[in-house]
């Protein structure tokens, strides 16, 4: 075997010393073609192995900031050595690992020579090489180049790994904004096969973000217009970062890399036997905030505070919104001619979309709170703490971020959540994660919960919201455990979690992040939800009552009116306001309204959606859902917000006096068949049942098979239904 190995590392890490130690006399010195950078080559022969060894120029990074970096990188890309031996100065570990990460991000096979172990020791630094190797997933061999110690073990490790196929490029999370941009660029670059014959797509994207001159030049030559397109994405995220966090991509990327490294080293990799390490401010804060005992308590208090903040301060504006849509409905009622158009506008559009839009203030407050947690870096700590728990359930540290993105705290979306699982390297852990993230409380489920909580648990909104969140997590984790012990069995892999330094969020940043998410919500209500709302309205309106039945109600009304004196009839039919109605007239009016209500209800039952709802009722009654709720839940397969809009439409179609109805939550409280228990059962069902259609498509795509998309729909709905039935039946037995 004569593989080539390249020695790489920071200047003064001991490369040349090790190179001389390995190659002895068998070496020669030249220059890299075209540049005056020294190129040393030699042969290692010993204990049965023979390798070509190259001493690469010393570099701190692999971005084209200097000639040395360009030379080293070009060599790696063009010559593709069998293995890079990364010489790492153990007495300065975190700084040196920065380069290591970049090899890994390029998907280059790498092994670490943990050099200067003697220096580290005299400085009171103890390093656990095995742990480091586990966490990074690459071989790590302690060496002292000057005395040749560890040389043999190092070559053993190289020989044992050199013939392996190249590892998948490491994917680090660079924070929400950059991740989103990276995902977008990576997709485009792959689709265009832009430079992908030489470099991994994500790496190219990363270099564009880092403004790597060499790669950008290369890209511009390769495909000028496409390069332009990528540069404009970079410009966008640069502007965005400067607006929101007062930083720029390169700084953010470096921060996150060091965060990643720090997260590794703090897991028992480095031990300082003397208290000489200066604690950075972030570390000091972490001592408290991620403390084993205090951390979780603080975390629950913070979440509780978030919910309390959201519900308390959004109450008034939500009320204004509801009043506004109520008023709008009234205006439409008074000004539109009766008939289908009026029904469409009031029941389909205003009550449907209005129900969803009414929650905009609440969503906005929630997102504002979450932006604070995210921009300050606390959210990453939440992930870090939950990570310990995750491993118990067969998931991985990187799963946590996916859960949080999907709405682990509240108000995310399963679609980016499912995409975020791409950072998981083990396919099984990834599958288990992407199948369970839809259980989180995404932004679309929020209005459903908010509606039901406001109606039935108004006293304890924040607590109930916290309970809902905990149920979602517990359910997701238990299901993950179930999956990991049955259909997706397998070993768990070590995890690493990035901890960027804490930073003070900027006000401008908070507002921009809040507004972006709120606007997404509003736009969805105005487009997708509006469309579905209208379709469902049509399903709830057609086919209309058959002539004969409609005539029966007409006859009933006529019969009622002929049975009383004409003066009363006159009073009842003409009076807009019920001022001065005699008790007798009042009674007649009520009876008339009852007939109207019965007619509206039979019409709804007779409609297509009504028939579906009533057919399912036999089954869903076990969980306390009547036919109207069924209609809403069926609509929720398209998008969860639709549950609210459909309930709005269903109750307004079955309603005869819109002027008297207040908000939908009040309507529900007074509606027959509704109780806190029914509401709770519906909440449970909403947490767990099939992901919305878009999420299912995304799951199928990311899992690589339609089978898993179908699985998530069927499996989740079965789980949801079983839990709701259990809750409802147990609750009924206990007399709730
Ligand atoms: P390069 O810049 O990476 O090529 O580093 P060199 O090989 O020139 O080494 C830099 C200095 O570190 C030299 O003075 C070496 O003697 C010294 N050195 C290299 N490896 C070790 C080691 O393991 N322990 C100690 N104490 N010194 C080392
Ligand atoms: Mg040297």
Q: What is the pLDDT of residues 67-79, one digit of tens each?
A: 888 889 999 988 8
* Interval 339-366 mean pLDDT: 81
In eight-state DSSP terms, residue 52 is E
Q: Which of 672, 614, 602, 685 is nearest to 643 (CA)?
A: 685
Task: Quote the CA–CA distance of 330 and 517 in Å, as a whole number.
Answer: 30
Whether the pLDDT of residue 276 is over 50: the answer is no
Of the pLDDT bands very low, low, confident and very high (cuts 50, 70, 90), residue 659 is very low
Q: Cβ–Cβ contacts within 10 Å for residue 597, how many?
A: 14
Whether the pLDDT of residue 558 is over 90: the answer is no
Give pLDDT, residue 404.
84
Give pLDDT, residue 278.
45
| Residues in contact with 241: Cβ distance below 8 Å, sequence separation at least 6, in sequence order | 177, 178, 247, 248, 249, 252
Give pLDDT, residue 577.
52
- Measured in angstroms, how far is the CA atom of residue 200 from the centroid of ligand 1? 33
* Interval 545-558 mean pLDDT: 88
Give pLDDT, residue 1.
54
* Interval 679-704 mean pLDDT: 91
Q: For all residues of the chain together, what is the average pLDDT?
A: 85
Give pLDDT, residue 273.
63
* Interval 153-170 mean pLDDT: 86
Task: Quote the CA–CA distance of 29 and 650 in Å, as a whole number.
Answer: 83
Nearest CA, atom 24, ligand 1 = 116
Kindly identify the ligand whose nearest atom is closest to the C-alpha of 120. Answer: 1
Question: What angle is formed at CA 612 by the lines to CA 608 and CA 615, rounded to 5 degrees?
Answer: 135
Q: Which of 91, 166, 78 is nearest to 122 (CA)?
A: 91
Residue with tokens 């839940």: 633
* Interval 626-650 mean pLDDT: 85
Total residues found in the chain within this entry: 736
* Interval 100-119 mean pLDDT: 93
Cis omega (within 30 of 0) for bond into 543: yes
Of the pLDDT bands very low, low, confident and very high (cuts 50, 70, 90), residue 274 is low
Task: Quote the CA–CA distance of 436 and 480 in Å, as a whole number.
Answer: 6
Task: Quote the CA–CA distance of 583 and 415 in Å, as a whole number.
Answer: 58
* Interval 94-115 mean pLDDT: 93
Give pLDDT, residue 495.
60
Looking from the CA of residue 13, the nearest atom of ligand 1 is 3
Kindly identify the ligand whose nearest atom is closest to the C-alpha of 13. Answer: 1
Nearest CA, atom 17, ligand 1 = 14
Whether the pLDDT of residue 140 is over 80: the answer is yes
Give pLDDT, residue 363.
78
Which one of 14, 96, 141, 150 would you pick to mutate in the ligand 1 pocket, going by the greatest count of ligand atoms within 8 A of its CB?
A: 14
461-502 confidence digits (pLDDT tens): 889 999 999 999 999 999 999 999 998 888 776 666 667 778
Task: Quote the CA–CA distance of 172 and 104 in Å, as a whole number.
Answer: 10
195-251 confidence digits (pLDDT tens): 998 899 999 999 999 988 889 999 999 999 999 999 999 999 999 988 888 888 888
| Residues in contact with 60: Cβ distance below 8 Å, sequence separation at least 6, in sequence order | 10, 11, 69, 98, 99
Task: Quote the CA–CA distance of 391 and 396 in Å, as a whole number.
Answer: 6
Whether the pLDDT of residue 621 is over 90: the answer is yes
Q: Which residue has the higher pLDDT, 326 or 438?
A: 438
SS3 38: strand
Which one of 59, 114, 145, 154 would you pick to mutate in the ligand 1 pocket, going by the greatest count of ligand atoms within 8 A of its CB?
A: 145
Is the CB of 58 inside a 6 Å radius of any atom of ligand 1? yes
Q: Which of 418, 511, 450, 474 is nearest to 702 (CA)?
A: 418
Residue 223 burial (10 A CB sphere; 0-12, 13-18, 19+): middle
* Interval 574-600 mean pLDDT: 74
């Amino acid at each position: 075997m004569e593989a080539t190995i390249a020695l790489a590392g920071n200047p003064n890490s001991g490369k040349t010393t090790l190179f001389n130690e390995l190659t002895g006399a068998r070496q020669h010195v030249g220059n890299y073609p075209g540049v005056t950078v020294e190129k040393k080559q030699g042969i290692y022969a010993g204990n049965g192995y023979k390798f070509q060894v190259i001493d690469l120029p010393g570099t701190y990074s692999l971005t084209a900031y200097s000639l040395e970096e360009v030379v080293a990188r070009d060599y790696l890309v063009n010559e593709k050595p069998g293995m890079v031996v990364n010489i790492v100065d153990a007495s300065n570990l975190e700084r040196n690992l920065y380069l290591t990460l970049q090899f890994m991000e390029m998907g280059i096979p790498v092994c670490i020579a943990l050099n200067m172990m003697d220096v580290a020791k005299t400085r009171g630094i103890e390093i656990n090489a095995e742990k480091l190797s586990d966490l990074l997933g690459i071989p790590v061999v302690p060496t002292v180049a000057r005395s040749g110690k560890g040389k043999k073990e190092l070559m053993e490790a190289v020989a044992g790994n050199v013939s392996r196929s190249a590892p998948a490029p490491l994917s680090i999370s660079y924070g929400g904004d950059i991740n989103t941009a990276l995902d977008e660029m990576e997709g485009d670059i792959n689709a265009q096969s832009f430079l992908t014959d030489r470099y991994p797509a994500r790496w190219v994207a990363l270099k564009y973000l880092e403004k790597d001159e060499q790669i950008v030049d290369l890209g511009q030559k390769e495909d000028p217009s496409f390069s332009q397109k990528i540069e404009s994405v970079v410009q966008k995220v640069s502007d965005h970062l400067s607006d929101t966090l007062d930083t720029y991509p390169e700084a953010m990327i470096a921060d996150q890399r060091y965060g990643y490294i720090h997260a590794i080293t703090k897991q028992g990799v480095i031990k300082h036997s003397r208290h000489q390490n200066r604690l950075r401010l972030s570390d000091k804060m972490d001592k408290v905030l991620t403390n084993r005992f205090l951390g979780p308590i603080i975390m629950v208090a913070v979440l509780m505070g978030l919910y309390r903040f959201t519900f308390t301060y959004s109450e008034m504006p939500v009320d204004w919104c509801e009043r506004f849509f109520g008023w709008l409905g009234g205006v439409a009622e008074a000004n539109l001619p009766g008939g289908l158009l009026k029904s469409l506008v009031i029941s389909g559009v205003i009550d449907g979309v209005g129900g969803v839009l009414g929650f905009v203030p609440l969503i906005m407050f929630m997102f504002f709170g979450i932006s604070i947690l995210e921009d300050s870096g606390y959210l990453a700590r939440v992930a870090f703490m939950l990570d310990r728990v995750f491993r118990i359930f067969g998931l991985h540290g990187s799963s946590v971020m996916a859960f949080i993105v999907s709405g682990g705290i509240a108000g995310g979306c399963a679609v980016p959540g499912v995409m975020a699982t791409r950072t998981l390297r083990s396919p099984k852990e990834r599958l288990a994660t992407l199948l369970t993230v839809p259980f989180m409380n995404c932004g679309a489920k929020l209005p459903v919960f908010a509606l039901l909580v406001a109606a039935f648990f108004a006293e304890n909104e924040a607590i109930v919201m916290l309970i809902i969140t905990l149920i979602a997590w517990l359910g997701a984790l238990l299901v993950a455990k179930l999956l990991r012990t049955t259909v997706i069995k397998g070993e768990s892999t070590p995890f690493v979690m990035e901890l960027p330094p804490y930073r003070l969020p900027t006000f401008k940043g908070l507002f921009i992040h809040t507004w972006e998410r709120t606007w997404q919500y509003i736009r969805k209500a105005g487009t997708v939800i509006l469309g579905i709302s209208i379709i469902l309205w049509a399903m709830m309106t057609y086919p209309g009552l058959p002539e004969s039945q409609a005539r029966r109600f007409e006859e009933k009304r006529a019969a009622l009116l002929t049975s009383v004196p004409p003066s009363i009839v006159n009073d009842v039919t003409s009076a807009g306001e019920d001022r001065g109605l005699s008790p007798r007239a009042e009674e007649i009016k009520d009876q008339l309204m009852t007939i109207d209500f019965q007619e509206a209800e039979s019409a709804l039952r007779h409609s297509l959606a009504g028939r579906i709802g009533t057919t399912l009722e036999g089954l869903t009654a076990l969980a306390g859902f009547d036919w109207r709720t069924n209609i809403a839940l069926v609509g929720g397969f398209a998008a969860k917000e639709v549950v609210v809009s459909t309930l709005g439409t269903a109750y307004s179609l079955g309603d005869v006096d819109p002027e008297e109805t207040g908000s939908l939550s009040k309507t529900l409280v007074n509606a027959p068949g509704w109780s806190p228990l029914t509401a709770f059962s519906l909440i449970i069902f909403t947490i767990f049942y099939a992901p919305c259609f878009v999420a299912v498509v995304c799951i199928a795509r990311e899992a690589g098979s339609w089978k898993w998309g179908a699985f998530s729909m069927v499996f989740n709905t079965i789980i949801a239904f079983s839990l709701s039935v259990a809750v409802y039946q147990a609750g009924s037995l206990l007399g709730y």
